[in-house]
Amino acid sequence: MSKVIKLENAAALIKDGMSIMVGGFLAVGTPNGLIGAILANGVRDLTLICNDTGMPDAGAGKLVVDRRLKKAIVSHIGTNPETGKQMMAGELDVELAPQGTLAERIRAGGAGLGAILTPTGVGTIVEEGKEKYTIAGKEYLIELPLRANAALLAAHKADKAGNLVFRRSARNFNPIMALAADFVIAEVEEIVEIGEIDPDEVMVPGVLVDWIVPSKGGNNNA
């Protein structure tokens, strides 16, 4: 059965107050069509889980600028000054996590783990409010897994069963997010018939993808 649906129908699945994981690294590999459609729908109070908050005019940054977020869990905000402004004004809750820790928290959420242990952040501001565990005399932070209501991904190619292929650096956070959400929507540049993708090329199996929408371009799948 084909999983291809219209962009507008996919965006309508995102409701006020949801948590969303958005693929991408500085907007490379971000589903910009879905972001635009969510903005057009007027959805608010979202919790964003993403590597970063993009830039004011690109990627997840548009959600920040339009004040659609209540919280962002990201590894940095330096490329989007609006994120910092809203954070300092108390208008946006920002949780910063070291990039590797963020990736592992997402991976843990997809794997059903209760927590991960990491030495990253021990002795810094990152450890504030977190439990620690000592193994063989070395301290580790206990970091909790991350899951979301929806994962919004961008892929280079998919078949109609939802098997995904990413191109170069656009792969980034997309594959691990596919396991860590209640449902997954992939915005795809090229959609082919089932069986046209070599199984060795598949980077996210179709069983993890609920819906596919055709991209109109602009996902920076570089």
DSSP bridge pairs for 164: 158, 204
Considering the domain boundaries, does residue 222 fall inside one?
Answer: no
Considering the domain boundaries, does residue 121 fall inside one?
Answer: no
Considering the domain boundaries, does residue 125 fall inside one?
Answer: no
CATH number, domain at 11? 3.40.1080.10
The two tokens of residue 151 are 């994962």
Number of domains into which the chain is organized: 1
Considering the domain boundaries, does residue 69 fall inside one?
Answer: yes
The boundaries of the domain holding residue 17 are: 7-116+145-214
pLDDT of residue 219: 56
Q: Given pLDDT bands bounded at 50, 70 and 90, which one contains residue 216?
A: confident
pLDDT of residue 1: 80
Q: What is the tally of helices (H) and strands (E) in the chain?
A: 6, 11
Q: What does DSSP say about strands 148-159 and 181-192: parallel, antiparallel, or unpaired?
A: parallel
Helix (H) or strand (E) holding 87: helix 81-88
Rounded distance, CA 92 to CA 70, Å? 5
Q: Which of 207, 199, 211 is nearest to 179 (CA)?
A: 207
Considering the domain boundaries, does residue 137 fall inside one?
Answer: no
DSSP letters along 171-199, please? GTTHHHHTTSEEEEEEEEEEEE-TT-S-G
Cβ 222 vs Cβ 28: under 8 Å? yes
Instruction: Give 1-38 pLDDT, tens digit per residue.
Output: 889 999 999 999 999 999 999 999 999 999 999 999 99
CA atoms within 13 A on the CB side of 151: 29
- What's the pTM value of the predicted model, to 2 decimals? 0.94
Instruction: Give 34-58 pLDDT, tens digit per residue.
Output: 999 999 999 999 999 999 999 999 9
Considering the domain boundaries, does residue 130 fall inside one?
Answer: no
pLDDT of residue 217: 65
Instruction: Give 138-159 pLDDT, tens digit per residue.
Output: 999 999 999 999 999 999 999 9
Considering the domain boundaries, does residue 136 fall inside one?
Answer: no
Considering the domain boundaries, does residue 55 fall inside one?
Answer: yes
Q: Is the Cα dihedral 143, 85, 221, 192 positive or negative? A: positive
Q: Which of 161, 157, 212 is nearest to 184 (CA)?
A: 212
Q: Cβ contacts of residue 51 below 8 Å, gap of 6+?
A: 24, 25, 26, 74, 75, 76, 99, 102, 172, 173
